[in-house]
């Protein structure tokens, strides 16, 4: 289920700790969990977070490939360690919605959100991010998972 999308919102940039990943789509489940654990360990050991939910910031949607950063918002600049680097959740203009349901429904939810945004006369921007508000760490029922969808738009 996709909530009613917001009106355009201008976000403020937020410091983050991230791992950049480029993988074929069918490998996402293999790499996402270990990357999240690596970022959590880095920010916890540095005492800078996390100060919000895990996110995945996608740099476009190339068929068959995920090119993204998985990360966490932090209270101060992260010191690079292993694959973890300093990053940012961008300050930009977005339209936001929340999808409730299993992760395998995210592709359809993104498509629905982007159709709504374009139907409202907006031009989609080059990237998007999702924040995992609640998931397997809080429930065994994937129908209750909540993922915030943030689609950049190009200002007229």
Q: What is the pLDDT of residue 29?
A: 87
Q: Is residue 51 left, alpha or beta, with left meaning phi > 0 and alpha meaning psi from -120 to 50? A: alpha
30-37 long-range Cβ contacts below 8 angstroms, 24+ apart: 32/56, 32/70, 35/70, 35/83, 36/70
Q: Residue 73: what pLDDT?
A: 98
* Phi then psi dihedrals of residue 3, to 5 deg: -70, 160
Residues written for the chain? 156
Interval 23-33: pLDDT, tens = 998 998 899 99
User: pTM of the predicted model, to two decimals?
Assistant: 0.93
Q: What is the CATH number of domain 9-154?
A: 3.20.80.10
Over range 83-100, report the average pLDDT. 96
Task: State mean pLDDT over 70-97.
Answer: 96
Judge whether residue 156 has pLDDT over 90: no
Q: What is the pLDDT of residue 137?
A: 87
For residue 68, the model assigns a pLDDT of 95
Summarised one tens digit per residue, pLDDT across range 116-141 is 999 999 999 999 999 999 998 889 99
Say if residues 12 and 91 touch (Cβ distance below 8 Å). yes
Q: What is the pLDDT of residue 50?
A: 95
What pLDDT score was predicted for residue 60?
74
Task: Give the contacts of 89 (CB within 8 A, at least 6 positions apart).
Answer: 11, 13, 14, 16, 55, 57, 71, 73, 129
């Amino acid at each position: 289920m996709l909530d009613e999308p917001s009106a355009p919102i201008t976000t403020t940039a937020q410091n983050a700790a991230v791992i950049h990943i480029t993988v074929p789509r069918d490998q996402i489940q293999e790499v996402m969990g270990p990357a999240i654990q690596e970022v959590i360990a880095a920010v916890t050991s540095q005492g800078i977070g996390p100060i919000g939910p895990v996110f995945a910031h996608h740099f476009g949607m190339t068929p068959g490939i995920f090119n993204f950063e998985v990360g966490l918002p932090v209270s101060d600049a992260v010191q690079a360690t292993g694959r973890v680097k300093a990053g940012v959740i961008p300050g930009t203009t977005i339209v936001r919605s929340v999808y409730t349901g299993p992760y395998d429904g995210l592709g359809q939810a993104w498509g629905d959100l982007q159709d709504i945004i374009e139907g409202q006369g907006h031009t989609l921007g080059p990237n998007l991010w999702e924040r995992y508000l609640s998931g397997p760490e809080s429930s065994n029922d994937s129908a209750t998972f909540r993922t915030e969808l943030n689609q950049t738009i190009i200002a007229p």
